[in-house]
A and B are shown apart, each in its own frame.
Chain A
């Protein structure tokens, strides 16, 4: 006998609103999945064309607060490509630092949600507390815990002095041992392994076919990290900076979590490398540059995977068209493969394992 189960749209287990209609058999194994979305649609693509380039620096940040540095970063890259602006090296370095700090915080949040859903509260608390160090760092240097407002067209808004660099290094010194300890615990914790190993499997063939990106792809043994495959910004100038990504073959929830840990530790390494060798010079070219008519496509690696921006301008103060392809858009399709044939109780955990950014996807 099949039973019909609905999850959402408002549920404490779901970070963002999404609505699942499931059908399951007697053993609560899922036989049919229907995902209904659109709850977070705020009409972003229309809004960006109503606002000028300076306002869009902030609006793109509000597409999603977890990858809120990547959006304005990619947007700025697109604008600079159209305007032909060469960004000073110091600004490139500052952008990468902001980006990697954000990556650590974003991935840690996802991992703490995973342990929350796996009912491992001790591990969750420790992950959240480790993340708090990064949050405090963001608040002191950039002025906000989530939306850093670091980017400017043609550079960055902020600069780092000796004192701030020291603070970053001190924070990393506290966080890194904690991260290694957490990684060990995530790898070996019996209770967590029981809940996550073999759950929500995405085989490599399916992963390739669907075209998943980011840690989801890395959890299935595919490396398509944009920072490695098509380096941009400082990654393009300094090959040593490019991350040595962690690949896992299992393709389950646990593998994706461990791939994220690899990302986090590499991000810490990247921040240290950049800070150790900061280029001198200006942090921006012009506060309010002129943007001529043109078109550009840019892609970067967000904490969740490949982020693509398409931008079209006509020489006026506002963009004519701006379009996103966000990582969750492709990863979302993989959900159907992952959820089908798994248990109903695992659905929210599998959803969390692709680190869904629904606000990015539905905009």
Chain B
């Protein structure tokens, strides 16, 4: 089999230009590997076999994108760069957005991030090339592709994928309120709260971590956001925050988290404070202690 020469063409469908700038950085700065590998950047969309598409697909761009796609020769691979191309991210629910991209194109690789690091974009393109090779040789694309560039690292302070420490969370919904891209959803069932973080909607702004009163939600420095299309909807961080049973009345209630108690009772050992008692029973007990 002859070697595939990936011919890359970038289409901006309404991005805030962050991803486009980072794409240029990835393409021209040596340390991100694309500049030194056999990737060709073509001037015309009809010569391309690897499309890099950024942006949430605005209503105005839709027909132009469709037109551009008809010029392409099959097989080609599509790499969606940026959270908004994957899920519209922060621009979701706007009247001017027709996206996300996979409504109109068969996307192969998604690179979430707002904007993704050039390292992630390079990784996304490398994975796109793998998919392209498989398409050309008629193989079936595997469910996952291992990380290709293993020598990339991020500083500890990098705002990457969010994580939750359920021990510290009380389900106060601050994160849900301040999240600009509605990537966080807290559901309730009989057992407790379920805290969901959708990594493909997250815009990695760190607002939730900043406003969280207990530090339960925090950003890790993981930038592992390059996923194949079949992983798009499963890239979720789910945490359970269980209710406790009241030792007096037996009713289920949401106990204050260690973090919250630590803020209120600065001088006490928090672990001894929580006596499994719901707020209603606690009020009653306190009332009796003071007035009975």
Contacts and interface: CB of A to CB of B under 8 A. Distances in A.
B241 interface: no
B45 A42 contact: no
Contacts, number: 177
Contacts of A141: 157
B155 interface: yes
A9 B22 CA distance: 20
B29 A132 contact: yes
B246 interface: no
Interface string A156-184: 01000000000000000000000000000
Interface in B201-216: 203-207, 210-211
Nearest to A125: B28
A360 B56 CA distance: 15
Interface stretch (A62-70, A213-221, A232-240, A337-345): A62-70
A47 interface: yes
A62 B211 contact: no
A324 to B, nearest CB: 13
A135 B97 contact: no
Contacts of B96: 41-43
B14 A65 contact: no
Contacts of B43: 11-12
A325 to B, nearest CB: 18
B14 to A, nearest CB: 5
B17 A66 contact: yes
Nearest to B206: A149
B56 A42 contact: yes
B206 A287 contact: no
A42 B99 CA distance: 11
B60 interface: yes
Contacts of A63: 16
Interface stretch (A22-30, A51-59, A89-97, A301-309): A51-59
B18 A39 contact: no
Interface-centre pick from A57, A58, A116, A359 (highest chain B CB count, 10 A): A58
Interface residues on B, range: 35 or more
A15 B54 CA distance: 11
Contacts of B206: 143, 149, 157
A144 B158 contact: yes
B123 interface: no
Contact of B18 (A10, A59, A125, A147): A147
Interface string B183-225: 0000000000000000000011111001100000001000000
Nearest to B157: A143
Nearest to A62: B16
A46 B91 CA distance: 11
B58 A42 contact: yes
Contacts of B114: 62, 144, 147
A159 to B, nearest CB: 12
Interface string B26-47: 0011010000000001110100
B61 A42 contact: no
A24 to B, nearest CB: 19
A58 B155 contact: no
B211 A66 contact: no
Given A39-B61, A39-B64, A359-B15, A15 B25 contact: no
A55 B93 CA distance: 14
B117 A58 contact: no
A279 interface: no
**For the side of the interface on A, what is the size category?**
35 or more
Nearest to B155: A140
Nearest to A140: B155
Contact of A146 (B11, B21, B45, B56): B21
A129 B21 CA distance: 14
A333 B69 CA distance: 32
A35 interface: no
Contact of B17 (A128, A131, A359): A359
B94 A68 contact: no
B204 A144 contact: yes
Given A58-B180, A62-B203, A146 B22 contact: yes
B140 to A, nearest CB: 31
A50 interface: yes
B205 A58 contact: yes
Contact of A51 (B25, B60, B180): B180
A125 B36 CA distance: 13
B207 A58 contact: yes
Nearest to A59: B180
A43 B178 contact: no
A68 B154 CA distance: 21
A193 interface: no
B285 interface: no
A38 interface: yes
Nearest to A13: B43
Contacts of A38: 60
B12 A10 contact: yes
22 contacts: A9-B64, A17-B14, A39-B13, A42-B96, A46-B95, A47-B94, A62-B91, A64-B17, A65-B16, A65-B19, A66-B17, A68-B16, A68-B18, A113-B24, A116-B28, A124-B28, A128-B24, A132-B29, A145-B22, A145-B118, A287-B211, A359-B17
Can you list the 10 inter-chain pairs with the closest CB atoms, starting with the nearest?
A65-B18, A43-B96, A143-B159, A55-B180, A43-B94, A58-B180, A54-B178, A58-B205, A146-B18, A38-B60
Interface of A: 9-12, 14-17, 38-44, 46-47, 50-52, 54-59, 61-66, 68, 109, 112-113, 116, 124-125, 128-129, 131-132, 135, 139-147, 149, 152, 157, 287-288, 357-359
Given A54-B177, A62-B203, A116-B28, 11 more contacts: A14-B12, A38-B60, A41-B14, A42-B58, A42-B97, A50-B93, A51-B180, A61-B205, A109-B24, A129-B29, A152-B210
